[in-house]
């Protein structure tokens, strides 16, 4: 984790096509950038600074297991490395996540219309309680400077389907006030908050779970216990640059079902990891905890005090 308060510079442009994962599940080679230099991370343990010999050739340091060896990259017509050779072994680039700015998508295991009908006919699991009365509020009424990019009100999401009638974000009052304070605190770094999702009706959680392949269910909540989103105490968010208005470029994209979504994933660039870290630090300071598989998902400390809910946005504002 990076703890400096100073924003790292962007890496040299010719590094961009090289950064990523190479090899096999049992032997992954990570190429990442750190303070303007490429590094190789091998077996999640050996981190080697690389000396640039030429644009596509980098030498290991004069110490460690790979003294005297070089990494030789091969690029495609788009200037993106397709493989790297090390010690006469060719490591192919691994297909991890999406390209920067892209939307990760799945092929739902069943038709969305069928899943929606089933979910709407079902009910959330019974809970013993006791619970506090719901205090759901629209976050932007507390802090208008917060911006929204509610993907589930569009088809620009991992299921390519619309789930919300309107692009709105609701949270329980204590969580909403905490998010507003985080937004204001981040201004010192030149950032504001961009919200993707807050309160989510239970039936939508059921649709997500039932649509997702078994191998990817770590990224969706089980409706049998419900999501903290269903309690109005979880938020999905990113940073946006106060000067340009652009969303922050993170190591992995929002709602990406890949290891790049893990909050401690080691790859990417210094700038990307730093942005991920200042978001996490700011959220933790206000009583939020990051979900272990998603850098963008934070649960408020009061989540246990609220019951699962299934009301639509339209029903909330009647």
- Catalytic residue positions? 294
E strand map for 17-104: 20-24, 27-34, 37-42, 46-49, 51-54, 57-59, 70-75, 81-86, 89-92
Give all strands (DSSP E) within 55-200, no chain letters. 57-59, 70-75, 81-86, 89-92, 136-138, 147-148, 170-172, 191-197
Cis before 287 (ω within 30):
no
Question: Three-class SS of residue 259?
Answer: helix
* Radius of gyration, CA atoms only, the chain: 21
Q: What long-range pairs does 74-80 form, CB within 8 A, spacing at least 24? A: 75/17, 78/17, 79/17, 80/17
CA dist 210 and 260 (Å) reads 23
């Amino acid at each position: 984790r990076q703890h400096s308060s100073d924003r790292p510079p962007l890496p040299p442009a010719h590094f961009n096509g090289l950064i990523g994962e190479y090899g096999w599940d049992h032997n992954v080679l990570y190429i990442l950038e750190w303070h303007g230099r490429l590094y190789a991370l091998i077996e999640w343990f050996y981190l080697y600074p690389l000396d640039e010999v030429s644009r596509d050739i980098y030498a290991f340091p004069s110490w460690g297991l790979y003294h005297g060896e070089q990494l030789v990259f091969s690029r495609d017509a788009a200037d993106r490395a397709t493989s790297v050779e090390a010690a006469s072994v060719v490591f192919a680039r691994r297909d991890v996540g999406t390209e920067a700015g892209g939307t990760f998508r799945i092929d739902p295991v069943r038709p969305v219309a069928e899943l929606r009908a089933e979910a709407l006919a079902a009910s959330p699991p019974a809970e013993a309680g006791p619970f506090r009365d719901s205090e759901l509020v629209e976050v932007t009424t507390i802090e208008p400077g917060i911006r929204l990019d509610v993907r589930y009100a569009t088809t620009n999401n991992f299921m390519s389907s619309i789930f919300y009638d309107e692009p709105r974000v609701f949270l329980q009052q204590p969580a909403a006030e905490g998010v507003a304070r985080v937004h204001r605190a981040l201004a010192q770094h030149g950032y504001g908050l961009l919200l993707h999702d807050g309160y989510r009706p239970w039936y939508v959680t059921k649709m997500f779970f039932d649509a997702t392949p078994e191998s990817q269910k770590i990224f969706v909540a089980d409706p049998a216990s419900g999501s903290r989103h269903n309690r109005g105490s979880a938020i999905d968010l990113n940073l946006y640059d106060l000067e340009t208005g652009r969303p922050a470029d993170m190591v992995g994209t929002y709602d990406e079902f890949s290891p790049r979504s893990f909050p401690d994933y080691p790859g990417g660039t210094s700038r990307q990891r730093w942005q991920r870290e200042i978001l996490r630090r700011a959220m933790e300071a206000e009583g939020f905890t990051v979900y272990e598989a998603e850098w963008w998902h934070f649960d408020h400390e009061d989540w246990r005090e609220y019951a699962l809910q299934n009301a639509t946005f339209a029903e909330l504002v009647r």
